[in-house]
Amino acid sequence: MKNKTVSRRRFLGASAAAVGAAALPGGMLAAAAAGQRPVPPLPLGDLAPPASPGEDFWWKVRSQFNVVDGMAFMNNGTLGPTPRVVADEEARIYAEIAADPTNGYRRAELHEKRETLASFIGAEPDEVSYTRSTTEGMNIFGRGLDWREGDEVLMCTHEHNGGIEPYIHSRERYGAVIKWVDIPSPPESADQILSIYEAAIGPRTRAIMVSHITYVTGLLMPVKELTELCNRKNLLLSVDGAHPLGMIALDMKDLGCHHYAGAGQKWLMAGTGTGVSFIRRDTMGDIWPLIGAGTYREDGERRFREDSRKYENTGQRHVPSQYALVKSVEFQNVIGKDLIERRVRMLSGRLREGLREIPGVKLWTSMSDDLAAGLTLFSVHDLPMENVQQAILNRDRVFIRTMSTGNLNAVRASTHLYNMPHEVDRLIASVRHIAANPTDYM
């Protein structure tokens, strides 16, 4: 197979236009055929959905991304494309500070914008911290607890290193114990998952660390029910929320967990170096800051703040990125996070339905809406995953990623609001071709 060069010219190229022409509204078709952006950059207000949004509306949303021409990008589970309004916001703040650094930290403005972040995830502003990544948020909690020798933390074997490594630190430094549990791929039900965790709880268990959606198979964990289990057992629940933020509607008050760390660069599409950390107000007293900062003067002495800002002072911050994070939330708020979740689920459901009908394809992701959302993991026969990934890119210009955690030999697709149904169908057709001709891809 020969590699095809991917150009970086315009949002929508001729190949995508040819596949999706029937879905384009009238005035946008000619622009798409010419390889031009269907519409100019739009203010956020123009992206408000109609009462019954159809594909015309989603093409308008798609037009606000500078995705390379003709590519169906399905790996925002690693790094999402940034909407143009978000990229413009970051560039604007960068230019302003470069021209006039007298208010370069923008502390008051960013603190005021904290309300936007908090509202988006159903939390109180003083429970929410700006972070640079999910990993930073997971370290704030995992390394902020006072661990004692023999204390246990439970986690499953499909957790991400960003969530695991704070507890490796606690194990090596304080003698804490990591206790692993195995979750089937896919599991039978949420009840099966809960029973596995409950059976693993022992007298020295102190916390459970769990991904709300695992990066490996896309399993949607029953976080609310796990919180209830932890409450019954007097445990803490820390949630790696790298994927749900921007993919599904979140409400910390409803989930009830003690801690939740989310990524800005994935499904929220805010760009790199962005994230959010939530710690429940009644839990903050148990969590030390990751870095000894966040102090203020009181009666002539420095003391830790009593709100989420005590977790933010890690030295210089990239202020433009924090503005971009807030703008990405505003972008999704205009469209509506419930509507975005429905779109994500529709596209991923379409993909899984198509894949499961192909002989030789194994789905590692559940078909149940209760146990899956926007990530889909699959294998094609026993073909090397790198070959499958490259064949799909070369043949149909769909970009997905490989997955080799543990002994997996699989590929993973992310379907988000900028993806179109015809792109999902392109991926299915590509997999069908590879599955029917496996010797060509050994």
- Could you tell me the maximum CA-CA distance found in the chain, to the nearest angstrom? 76
Indicate if 399 and 278 belong to the same structural domain.
Answer: no
Average pLDDT, the chain: 91
pLDDT band per the 50, 70, 90 thresholds, residue 25: very low
Query: Of 106, 138, 142, 112, whose CA–CA distance to 126 is shortest?
Result: 112
Q: What are phi and psi of 305, to 5 degrees?
A: -60, 165
Q: Is residue 441 part of a domain?
A: no
Indicate if 124 and 63 belong to the same structural domain.
Answer: no
Round to whole Å and give the CA distance between 299 and 131.
29
Query: Of 350, 401, 422, 385, whose CA–CA distance to 70 is shortest?
Result: 422
Q: Which residues contact 249 (CB under 8 A, 6 or more apart)?
A: 337, 338, 340, 341
Domain boundary among 333, 348, 375: 333
What is the model's pLDDT at position 151? 98
Average pLDDT over residues 393-422: 96
Domain at 204, CATH number = 3.40.640.10
Indicate if 248 and 151 belong to the same structural domain.
Answer: yes
What is the model's pLDDT at position 201? 98
In tens, the pLDDT along 88-137 reads: 999 999 999 999 999 999 999 999 999 999 999 999 999 999 999 999 99
Domain span at residue 321 reads 87-333
Domain boundary among 333, 362, 397: 333
Q: Is residue 9 part of a domain?
A: no
Q: Is residue 179 part of a domain?
A: yes
In tens, the pLDDT along 66-80 reads: 888 789 999 999 999
Domain count, the chain: 2
Residue 55 has pLDDT above 80, yes or no: yes
Q: Is residue 381 part of a domain?
A: yes
Indicate if 266 and 160 belong to the same structural domain.
Answer: yes
Indicate if 256 and 293 belong to the same structural domain.
Answer: yes
Indicate if 280 and 341 belong to the same structural domain.
Answer: no
Indicate if 329 and 241 belong to the same structural domain.
Answer: yes
Q: Report whether 158 contacts 219 (CB < 8 A).
A: yes
For the chain, state the CA radius of gyration: 23
Round to whole Å and give the CA distance between 16 and 33.
9
Indicate if 326 and 409 belong to the same structural domain.
Answer: no
Indicate if 312 and 378 belong to the same structural domain.
Answer: no
Indicate if 99 and 243 belong to the same structural domain.
Answer: yes
Tell me the helix, strand and coil percentages in the chain, rounded to 5: 45, 15, 40
Strand pairing category for 128-131 and 275-279: antiparallel
Residue 335 has pLDDT above 90, yes or no: yes
Indicate if 175 and 226 belong to the same structural domain.
Answer: yes
A 10 A CB-CB count for 132 gives 18
Q: CA distances (Å), 220 to each of 48, 73, 81, 216, 408, in order?
A: 28, 22, 23, 11, 19
In tens, the pLDDT along 144-187 reads: 999 999 999 999 999 999 999 999 999 999 999 999 999 999 99
In tens, the pLDDT along 34-51 reads: 344 445 778 999 999 999
Residue 323 has pLDDT above 90, yes or no: yes
Q: Name which of 241-245, 281-285, 403-407 the model is least confident about.
A: 403-407
Q: Is residue 148 part of a domain?
A: yes
pLDDT band per the 50, 70, 90 thresholds, residue 293: low
What is the model's pLDDT at position 12? 36
pLDDT band per the 50, 70, 90 thresholds, residue 26: very low
Residue 11 has pLDDT above 60, yes or no: no
Name the percent of the chain lying above pLDDT 90: 83
Round to whole Å and give the CA distance between 207 and 440.
48
Q: Is residue 7 part of a domain?
A: no
**Residue 402, helix vs strand vs coil:** strand
Q: Is 69 exposed, middle or buried, given 0-12, 13-18 or 19+ CB atoms closer than 10 A? A: buried
What is the model's pLDDT at position 304? 81
Round to whole Å and give the CA distance between 37 and 324.
22
- The token pair at 203 is 């007298």
Average pLDDT over residues 289-311: 80
- Owner of token pair 């009830």: 256
Domain boundary among 333, 357, 377: 333
Q: Is residue 52 part of a domain?
A: yes
Indicate if 329 and 343 belong to the same structural domain.
Answer: no
Q: Which residues contact 172 (CB under 8 A, 6 or more apart)?
A: none
Beta bridge partners, 307, equal none
Name the percent of the chain lying above pLDDT 70: 90
pTM higher than 0.75, yes or no?
A: yes
Residue 294 has pLDDT above 80, yes or no: no
Q: Is residue 24 part of a domain?
A: yes
In tens, the pLDDT along 254-281 reads: 999 999 999 999 999 999 999 999 999 9
Q: Report whether 411 contacts 385 (CB < 8 A).
A: yes
In the sheet with 205-211, reading across from the earlier edge strand, the strands are 128-131, 275-279, 259-263, 236-241, 205-211, 152-156, 177-181
